[in-house]
Structure 1
Amino acid sequence: MSKKPVKKQDPETTGHSWDGIEEFNNPLPRWWLWTLYACIIWGIGYSIAYPAWPLINGATRGVLGYSTRAEVAEDIAYFKAANADLREELVAADLSEVANNPELLHFANANGRAVFATWCSQCHGSGAAGAVGFPNLLDNDWLWGGEIEEINETVTVGVRNETNDDARYSEMPAFGDILEEEEIAQVTEFVLSLSDDDVDQTMALAGATVFADNCAACHGEEGLGDKSQGAPNLADAIWLYGGDRETIMQTVTNSRFGVMPAWNARLSESDIRAVAIYVHGLGGGE
């Protein structure tokens, strides 16, 4: 006579019931529990040994005193020491002659690329193509000159800032306080005519007189600009804030006043020279 199969008994429950639904009291696997306990112990040890818990004015430092910032500082100090001779050579060199020294040029470009990415790309873009209100550094349209020495000077002292007495400085009047609206419209049409044939010739002709009386002193009689004054060329179709009719009228009416920091207050002379060489080598400049 065969035995009757034994039915598998359900495990005991936790004793709780939710709307008639009970929960089995299945214990966790021991390996899982020991892994959990080991992780807890490891976490406690880690938080004691290393920086871990944020506080109001910092964080717990850990008994080992480890710091990623200190590691970075050590790396920076190491490479500065390793490149000290090249930095001194770069500071002493004639900027126009650096291109004739392959080793120094390689160092300057590598250093300048890092400086540009850290300090300059936020405004001029990662590729140095600029944006509205921030100059494109890849072309030859430079307000204060694009020769390497001039670029170095601009980076050093900045533009229209209040921290360096030698900052590049020019200020265009807000002609909305000087000219009538019709005169502003006329001179805008004349400025457009310098690089575009699709203009109102009658207004442009009247605007030529307004331009000669109010603008030529800085931008030149033909609107070609004056780099020594930081006055842009208006005839090359390159515009810092936009070259459409409405934008030019806004510029004439309200003026523009972009500011660039004086980087000699933040960067070393070798870093400034390196970034000037790097920017000049991008293809812009003169």
Structure 2
Amino acid sequence: MAHDTHEQIDAVTGVSTTGHSWDEIQELNNPLPRWWLWSFYATIVWAIAYCIAYPAWPLVSSYTTGVFGWHSREAIVQDLDALKAQRSGMTTKLAQASLDEIRQDPELFAFARAQGKAAFGDNCAGCHGAGGAGAKGYPNLNDDDWLWGGSLQEIEQTIRFGARASLDKGHQGTMPAFGRDGMLKRQELSQVSDFVRSLSGLPVEKGANIAGGAKIFADNCAACHGDKGQGNRELGAPNLSDQIWLYGSDKVVIMDGLWNGRGSVMPAWNDRLDDTTIKALTLYVNSLGGAQPH
């Protein structure tokens, strides 16, 4: 690359050059198109006019308000107020009706589901996913496997008071740390893990002591999960005989849960959401999965 500061005239076009050349290619000094320049000047004029008409410049403790006195935040508030007024009739019906009554009214149920879907996206999708499909450690709400029960009343209780959220009315069941707290040895954890996998028809290691694992399970796990691992919704103990696994079904994952325990927290929304929103959210979540109305 070469750089020449002396102006030259291109022999082919007769246009002066900028004095820059790359690999013996000269840069012509052509003016910008008029339409482009006028467009550029117009944006400058528009920017100045916008700064005068609307809020634009920050000050020490405030900002310029603009001659029109228009604010996007106020416009949003007005739009929301108008939407609330438009929905006020259905919202009142939703507030006054019971969950079962709403479920039996097609129009009110459709309204509640729409409201619940919006509330779910704002408050629940961060853990359960936008469509309620869940993730590792966060239940899938689209299937029929409910840790704490899938009826309208059970879902409402879970939403209102949470799980392990330090509220008396919330769910309190916790998976003990059998290994960390010295209740079971690692070999015993391995045996009971093989037995648990066998309950749902998963393959186990060759020569696994299934009988020994069954004995350990009966002594330590059956009180919560049931004799055959069918689970207990009152305690939030998962059904171990199906193939729906909250944390995964690999043996190393099961052993980790047995060693360290499980105790994830579901937030309580009773003081964060109003009663009408909780109703709508309950109906929406119920409609995603097993749809157990009673």
TM-score for both structures, normalised by structure 2: 0.82
Q: Deviations over 1:69-126 (max 9, x none)?
A: 2222222222222222322322222212322212211110111111112221221112
Deviation at 1:64, TM superposition (A): 2.4
Q: Alignment partner for residue 84 of structure 2, among 63, 77, 80?
A: 80
- 1:109 and 2:113 are equivalent in the alignment: yes
Deviation at 1:52, TM superposition (A): 3.1
Once residues 9 and 233 of structure 1 are traced to their aligned partners in structure 2, the CA distance between those partners, rounded to angstroms, is: 83
Once residues 212 and 257 of structure 1 are traced to their aligned partners in structure 2, the CA distance between those partners, rounded to angstroms, is: 21
Q: Deviations over 1:152-200 (max 9, x none)?
A: 11111122224x4432222111111221111111111111121126335
Once residues 230 and 176 of structure 2 are traced to their aligned partners in structure 1, the CA distance between those partners, rounded to angstroms, is: 18
Quickly say closer, same or farther: Cα 1:41–1:209, change in 2 above 3 A. same
TM-score for both structures, normalised by structure 1: 0.84
Once residues 118 and 103 of structure 2 are traced to their aligned partners in structure 1, the CA distance between those partners, rounded to angstroms, is: 19
Once the two structures are overlaid, the 10-residue window that deviates more, 82-91 or 131-140, is 82-91
- Counterpart of 1:272, as a letter, is I
Once residues 56 and 186 of structure 1 are traced to their aligned partners in structure 2, the CA distance between those partners, rounded to angstroms, is: 68
Residues 87-102 of structure 1: matches in 2 within 5 Å? 87-102=91-106
- Counterpart of 2:198, as a letter, is S
Q: Alignment partner for residue 159 of structure 2, among 122, 145, 155?
A: 155
Residue in 2 that maps onto 1:233: 239
- 1:258 and 2:264 are equivalent in the alignment: yes
Q: Does the aligned pair in 2 maintain the 1:49–1:64 contact within 8 Å?
A: yes
Deviation at 1:212, TM superposition (A): 1.6
Gaps of 5+ in 1: 1-7
Q: Alignment partner for residue 244 of structure 1, among 240, 250, 258?
A: 250
Residue in 1 that maps onto 2:3: none
Q: Does the aligned pair in 2 maintain the 1:142–1:285 contact within 8 Å?
A: no
Once residues 244 and 21 of structure 1 are traced to their aligned partners in structure 2, the CA distance between those partners, rounded to angstroms, is: 65
- Counterpart of 1:233, as a letter, is N
Residue in 1 that maps onto 2:185: 180
Deviation at 1:29, TM superposition (A): 6.0
Deviation at 1:61, TM superposition (A): 3.9
Residue in 2 that maps onto 1:3: none
Quickly say closer, same or farther: Cα 1:25–1:231, change in 2 above 3 A. closer
Q: Deviations over 1:50-80 (max 9, x none)?
A: 2334678786443323222222222222222
Q: Alignment partner for residue 283 of structure 1, among 268, 286, 289?
A: 289
Deviation at 1:274, TM superposition (A): 0.6
Q: Deviations over 1:219-272 (max 9, x none)?
A: 122211111111111111211000121111111111122122212222221111
Residue in 1 that maps onto 2:139: 135
Residue aligned with 1:52, SS: coil
- 1:168 and 2:171 are equivalent in the alignment: yes
Once the two structures are overlaid, the 10-residue window that deviates more, 18-27 or 31-40, is 18-27
Quickly say closer, same or farther: Cα 1:58–1:101, change in 2 above 3 A. farther
Once the two structures are overlaid, the 10-residue window that deviates more, 108-117 or 153-162, is 153-162
Once residues 257 and 112 of structure 1 are traced to their aligned partners in structure 2, the CA distance between those partners, rounded to angstroms, is: 27
Quickly say closer, same or farther: Cα 1:262–1:46, change in 2 above 3 A. same
- Counterpart of 1:247, as a letter, is V
Q: CA RMSD in A?
A: 3.0
Gaps of 5+ in 2: 1-11
Q: Does the aligned pair in 2 maintain the 1:96–1:149 contact within 8 Å?
A: no
Residues 201-212 of structure 1: matches in 2 within 5 Å? 203-212=209-218
Deviation at 1:48, TM superposition (A): 2.1
Quickly say closer, same or farther: Cα 1:193–1:131, change in 2 above 3 A. same
Q: Does the aligned pair in 2 maintain the 1:145–1:285 contact within 8 Å?
A: no
Quickly say closer, same or farther: Cα 1:191–1:36, change in 2 above 3 A. closer
Once residues 56 and 166 of structure 1 are traced to their aligned partners in structure 2, the CA distance between those partners, rounded to angstroms, is: 49
Aligned residues: 277
Q: Does the aligned pair in 2 maintain the 1:137–1:285 contact within 8 Å?
A: no
